Structure 1
């Protein structure tokens, strides 16, 4: 439909309803077309951000919830509260919005639907609500047709739309260029399913030619399918595209129920997107009565040596297949490369204890890794039976004596039925053996076969696992699961997710230098990511000569990621010996906080650079991280966020003068000096480089021993 005719239909419909954001900069307008189609429009500072866009759902074997509506009721309200997260980027979060709730009557079908809009200072959240009613009880969604009509050919930072993975490198292009670049943007993964040459995933970050930053995402993805976006690249209209089940259906609903929130963040300052807490605010408050057992975690792990190929998850190379309960590993020959052995794990425990890390992740400890992947195997792991060279009781006792805990690993191999079959027993095994944190994985195609990683059924499983873990006081770090949508507010034992292309890909082929300048604008909009930073040996020299990948950053940039990539779950991912060669730089990883009172976004341009400062929880110390893409730049850090009248010891970890992520990534320099809130620091960042800065309130001794910053 031509834009002019569409506007005419809007004007002929019901009288428009509108609300503005608390600060008056955003305006949401809702109306009905002459055909009774719901339509919304969003403006920012009187500039159109989202043109008139249709709303509605197509139902299976039903007339659908697309048109034929009249306005039955309209209510506006305001809300303003401050709440405290269990962990987070700040100790308090303000939830402040104006709301418009419109009740629409579909006279022909004798049923009604509510559209609820919440307008915050930095964006919009809206959802469909289906009250209990006689003529709308059980229904099947064929497709949700939520539109986001763009005003121009914006620059977008996107990954291919997919039902199974977000583990793609980002592509920067105009909206009209997505179709031509799609095939190049698709790279191999253990499980993937694209649906369109113009389909992309949320959170989608864009920038208009006139300087508006626009972010599209969703919040509170519960009992519903994950939303992709399909672009009509002729009219520049995105439309929601839900993940189907094995039958091709998009959702099974029973009233009363609702969709997740659809979110549109808008600002002319990129820093506002990073500072927004819309996604969290649109989720329900914490449902756990006791959260005292949920603690942020800084950990190391028996992991990177397997990711890079130095070691093996499997115990033996002699078994072409394994049947748990029938295979006798004591009669096989160890391959000599199995990393999860007693001696090696004790080495990691010793390193963690020496340097103040609270946990050690161990992957490959349990029987079944010889044939775990690629066979669509149902009964693949039981999550409680160790290999002969992994003594659970001894290692747990050893770790406890050192003040360290082991972190559990549950790789489900995407056999979800098998995981649920064993879940209670596996969690009880953790409790019995002193584990309180689990990293779960969903590599490969989902079983039941035909289901996808992001469909309604599997999304319900992920939440089931989180709730079940809470019963056992266990925190969850889910890898390969659906990308987060703020559910960690409601269930804060969901302490981390992967759900994007992480550091592991640096061993498989590399991440683009601008990758981590984008993730805070995209993947992290929904919640923290277990990115597993801290790789010091970026050339992977322990693999010797030959063809292998390298980490596409400098060493200093790896330090900065502990600040710019927010997570209450932070891993020092490299091998202990790599850190032992650079103990002066490793000090920052030991010092940096993982829970925060306050966060300041100092510089930001998606795809180019970030500089973020954070104040440690219940402390006067601040930490700053700055990163750049493949282009060197100079970051300027104004320390006016420090408490006036006080002096701080600043320790700067920066790229060396000759640093370069390809030619000389390990070149760094460390500088120390006294600073105040009036100090400005300029730092040169190398290509794909960065810097880390710690700011600790000076003691009397520091004031005598440390020179003023120059």
Structure 2
């Protein structure tokens, strides 16, 4: 590790401009005080991206003098457990402005700016100081003040290139901006474990400006720091995705001493595959083991209703339930909000859903033991409704639940509907992931929580849903569905892993498109359905080879796109490449050169492409080299898969 620390102890003039550059000097951040207000500008090459945007927080008066600066530089590497890159370089230059209020209180605020080759970030630190023990931050004043009304891409309201900064709706996920010259930037937050989530909004009365709106105030004892507000920068849209690991680099290093128990891989869910019955789950494990899956997820209802029903809800269900439930009185024992034992018999879906339910007959220890006994072991992951955990308002302490699951030998948990956003909830989520690590449980958080790089500190956090995945498809306009798929890597995907959980196979998309999701999106891949479709007589075919062979941890990534038309993600593991492509609502055809292959070496390519006019995959093979150009042709809502293996 290289760490250089220089401290300027003298007070600097109010008009002096301070500069920090990225290690490759392509990105320049300039900060100066004008009339006591700190303003920043960011330039990428010849492209001035941010123009004199305001810096600061609402906590203090907003008028400062600069009393000192500190500069530092970091250059380290760290090993990832899963994901696009097995080795990540954390290389930056840092500038800290030590500000003091001009008001009589003379309170201190540090503005910390980092410049990476992959982008820039800013956070605010309240250092220890006389007369001030605690602060509350209600709003961040940082302005991302662009030079024009640029086109934006936001997954929250599907503003996919059809709006500009002025029309930006409140976005709880990252916002990507086309800043001219073919360059793109994406705004997101990082290191949020003790802060409020932010949403990105257009600032009223300030043209071309985006600011981060806090969900709710955040309070801390000094020294206290905000989350980072980060701007990932890409020379192209593809480079933007390749550079997104900036988010993890802004988080603390790994806190788990031994990560050998965290296995990168793929998961298959019982949903659309089988009932929650021990023998049926074992058969699904057999299928998963035979096809390279590493985990099996059992979703909601395995331990009963997702919430503990109130007496009023029970009485209402008694009054309105269908005759089916008269034959299954065990439902009363299955709505008590238990997380420590499986339900027995039928479980109602919801207090106001009076017809039908899930049947449960599970022996968890027996299932765990069976999965571990298989030639290719399968770990068991269990759904946990957040509302039942004490830290989120329920009755069961996280420690108690996770200790119980560790005793069972469970491999992981899938917390659902965990309340995010506020500082209190974000703290509780970080605590949950930490406790899971202590009990050797991987975590896949579903529903509204958004990632911020916590997976660097706790790599047992292997995936996050956050925004619209498979379960939201019925609510996405038909003309947007596959457009959403191909733009997720450039919007929500910049924040971190994304668990789309595709249902194998939906009629609206080709087989190659749905399998390609497992290669395009970051995170431990998972699917619903698949056993029937990929078994003899099923509608699927040999394209499962891509699922079987694609590793959960790769060494290199290359992203190619014509934004809004298609995306191709190539991932290298050792000498082999796994290349997944998806098209949007229109057919896409382009030439794809394999110039990233090692010159002079031959490879065997196993290729799956869309059937013209159909949904199924066509399989071909060919010998390729770095000189080969592959013609990729995809149907509307289509896909393309390649496994390129070096010949010995």
TM-score (norm 2): 0.85
**Structure 2 match to 1:230:** 201
Residue number among 63, 70, 78 corresponding to 1:83 in the alignment: 78
Q: Partners of 1:670 and 1:641 in 2: how far apart?
A: 23
Where structure 2 has 5 or more consecutive residues not aligned to the other structure, the ranges are 1-12, 314-334, 345-360
Residue number among 139, 145, 164 corresponding to 1:175 in the alignment: 164
**Structure 1 match to 2:362:** 390
Residue number among 599, 616, 638 corresponding to 1:667 in the alignment: 616
> Are 1:404 and 2:351 counterparts?
no
Q: Partners of 2:522 and 2:310 in 1: how far apart?
A: 33
Gap change, CA 1:518 and 1:643, over 3 Å in 2: same
Residue number among 421, 426, 429 corresponding to 2:396 in the alignment: 421
**Structure 1 match to 2:183:** 212
SS of residue matched to 2:23: coil
Contact 1:44 1:267 in 2 (8 A): no
Contact 2:270 2:529 in 1 (8 A): no
Contact 1:365 1:390 in 2 (8 A): no
Deviation, structure 1 residue 506: 2.8
> Are 1:497 and 2:464 counterparts?
yes
Q: Partners of 1:71 and 1:177 in 2: how far apart?
A: 33
Q: Partners of 1:224 and 1:380 in 2: how far apart?
A: 33
**Structure 1 match to 2:324:** none
Gap change, CA 1:376 and 1:272, over 3 Å in 2: farther
Q: What does residue range 232-311 of structure 1 map to in structure 2 within 5 Å?
A: 232=203, 235-244=207-216, 250-276=217-243, 277-304=245-272
Q: Partners of 1:356 and 1:32 in 2: how far apart?
A: 58
Deviation, structure 1 residue 66: 4.4
Q: Partners of 2:311 and 2:234 in 1: how far apart?
A: 48
Residue number among 162, 171, 174 corresponding to 1:203 in the alignment: 174
> Are 1:132 and 2:128 counterparts?
yes
**Structure 1 match to 2:90:** 95
Gap change, CA 1:150 and 1:94, over 3 Å in 2: same
Q: Partners of 1:413 and 1:13 in 2: how far apart?
A: 52
Higher strand share: 2
SS of residue matched to 2:620: strand
SS of residue matched to 2:459: coil
Contact 1:414 1:441 in 2 (8 A): no
> Are 1:440 and 2:415 counterparts?
yes
Q: Partners of 1:589 and 1:374 in 2: how far apart?
A: 43
Residue number among 599, 606, 609 corresponding to 1:651 in the alignment: 606
**Structure 2 match to 1:479:** 446
Gap change, CA 1:572 and 1:484, over 3 Å in 2: same
Q: Partners of 2:126 and 2:175 in 1: how far apart?
A: 27
**Structure 2 match to 1:40:** 40
Deviations 1:139-192, CA, capped at 9 Å, x for gaps: 2222222211121111111245xxxxxxx545433326626xxxxxxxxxxxxx
Q: Partners of 2:393 and 2:302 in 1: how far apart?
A: 15
SS of residue matched to 1:240: strand
**Structure 2 match to 1:583:** 541
Q: Number of aligned pairs?
A: 589
Gap change, CA 1:81 and 1:382, over 3 Å in 2: same
Residue number among 560, 563, 566 corresponding to 2:519 in the alignment: 563
Q: CA RMSD in A?
A: 2.5
Q: Partners of 1:157 and 1:304 in 2: how far apart?
A: 33
Q: What does residue range 98-109 of structure 1 map to in structure 2 within 5 Å?
A: 98-107=93-102, 108-109=104-105
Q: Partners of 1:559 and 1:284 in 2: how far apart?
A: 33
Point out the more displaced range, 514-523 or 77-86. 77-86
SS of residue matched to 1:346: helix
SS of residue matched to 1:82: strand
SS of residue matched to 1:14: coil
Q: Partners of 2:111 and 2:639 in 1: how far apart?
A: 45
> Are 1:351 and 2:287 counterparts?
yes
Residue number among 489, 504, 517 corresponding to 1:520 in the alignment: 489
Gap change, CA 1:690 and 1:177, over 3 Å in 2: farther
**Structure 2 match to 1:333:** none
